[in-house]
């Protein structure tokens, strides 16, 4: 993106300061979380097509509950064939506005039809899964969990990475590879991951007018992984991975 970025130390320190300044907005346990949204934007004086001569780094903080209006209820997704989220050799693997603007029309159309969100296919063959509008997708069959590989069109989300590690710790085989849309037919479970989304179960997916339903709730892999991730985040489960940063 040709953007100057803050150092890791500056980034983490800014998150800490923002959290402390907004600690009164942290919801009570079990009632939500304080969502932090770092943003880097070009702010230097230039109107032409060129990298900005100056950039501004800022962080938004807001108390939030569940990302989807369904709350913790299973999602109802629609496989989109007319719109693409990202294309090869583009910015699909970078968290930029260009990753979200293309999904708005498809998302509005799907929601008007009663769906929670859209599941996108690759822009070349239209045969392989990519992402949901704002989160990564996982497909489970037995003890094997598959998720599309980060090949430049998919965001390498930190929640995605965390869930992959937790799943492997729990004895599941996790494959990062090309996942064909036809694999949805025989899947036991489908779930999504993201910073705001967390780990969200998918109850059904509609593809070519065919509705496929999946296991959710107690005993599901999604619920197991969600409970572990949430337990680490809230301190109920010991953090043995060094993921938690205390703010004081």
The helix (run of H) or strand (run of E) holding residue 109 is helix 104-112
Tokens encoding 59: 């962080």
Tokens encoding 53: 């001569």
Among candidate residues 23, 31, 95, 111, the one labeled active-site is 95
The verdict on whether 95 is a catalytic residue reads: yes
The SS3 assignment for 229 reads: helix
Phi/psi for 190 (5° steps) reads -140, 135
Cα–Cα distance, 141 to 151 (Å, whole number): 23
The SS3 assignment for 224 reads: helix
Cα–Cα distance, 59 to 18 (Å, whole number): 7
Q: Which residues contact 125 (CB under 8 A, 6 or more apart)?
A: none
Q: How far apart are the first and last CA of the chain?
A: 34
- Are 135 and 66 in contact by the 8 Å Cβ rule? The answer is no
165-202: b or e for each residue (b if 16 or more CB lie within 10 Å)?
ebbeeeebebebeebebeebeebebbbbbbbebbbbbb
User: Catalytic positions, please?
Assistant: 95
């Amino acid at each position: 993106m040709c953007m100057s970025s803050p150092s890791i130390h500056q980034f983490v320190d800014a998150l800490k300061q923002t959290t402390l300044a907004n600690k009164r907005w942290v919801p009570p346990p079990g009632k939500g979380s304080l969502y932090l949204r770092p943003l880097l934007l070009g702010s230097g004086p230039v109107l032409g097509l060129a990298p900005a001569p100056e950039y501004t780094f800022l962080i938004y903080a807001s108390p939030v509950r569940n990302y989807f209006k369904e709350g913790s209820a299973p999602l109802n997704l629609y496989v989109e064939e007319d719109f693409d989220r990202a294309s090869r050799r583009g910015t699909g693997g970078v968290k930029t506005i260009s990753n979200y603007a293309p999904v708005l029309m498809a998302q509005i159309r799907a929601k008007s039809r009663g769906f929670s969100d859209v599941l996108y296919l690759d822009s070349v063959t239209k045969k392989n899964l990519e992402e949901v509008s704002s989160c990564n997708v996982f497909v489970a069959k037995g003890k094997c969990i598959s998720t599309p590989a980060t090949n430049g069109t998919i965001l390498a989300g930190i929640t995605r990475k965390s869930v992959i590690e937790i799943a492997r710790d729990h004895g599941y085989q996790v494959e990062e590879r090309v996942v064909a849309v036809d694999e949805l037919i025989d899947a036991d479970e489908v779930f999504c991951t993201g910073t705001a989304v967390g780990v969200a179960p998918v109850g059904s997916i509609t593809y070519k007018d065919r509705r496929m339903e999946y296991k959710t709730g107690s005993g599901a892999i999604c619920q197991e992984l969600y409970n572990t991730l949430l337990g680490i985040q809230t301190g109920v489960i010991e953090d043995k991975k060094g993921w938690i940063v205390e703010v004081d």
